[in-house]
Amino acid sequence: QVQLVESGGGLVQPGGSLRLSCAASRIAFSLYTISWYRQAPGKQRELAASITSGGNTNYADSVKGRFTISRDNAKNTVYLQMNSLKPEDTAVYYCNAQWRTSYWGQGTQVTVSS
């Protein structure tokens, strides 16, 4: 069955860094646009970053310059490098794969707090 598994979340102090991973299986991974969404309690889900099959990237204004999305098609994995983290980055981060259909992971918690 199709799987998207996020990892790398945790507790980090403001200004710190984390790298999230999204590992996919049973998908023609290289054909998919992969996105990281995030959702904080009481807030709508928002797109943080995405990367297309051709490697084009897109970032929310709130994370641009701090986050970097990349993909390793040989490993069927997408990464989200998060630097200079702020408390407002606290959320559950979800991986999404979109081509002719859409798949979601279960999410990984990122908490930015002192």
Q: Which residues pair with residue 39 across a beta bridge?
A: 92
State residue 70's pLDDT score.
98
pLDDT value for 67: 98
Task: Provide the token pair at 39.
Answer: 């959702």
61: CB partners within 8 A, 6+ apart = none
Spatial contact of 94 and 8, defined as CB atoms under 8 Å apart: no
Low-confidence spans in the chain with pLDDT less than 50: none
Query: d(Cα 67, Cα 17) in Å, to the nearest integer?
Result: 9
Query: Which pLDDT score, from 0 to 100, does residue 1 have?
Result: 86
Tens of pLDDT along 67-89? 999 999 999 999 999 999 999 99
pLDDT at 78: 97
Residue with tokens 């403001």: 14
Give the pLDDT of residue 104. Answer: 97
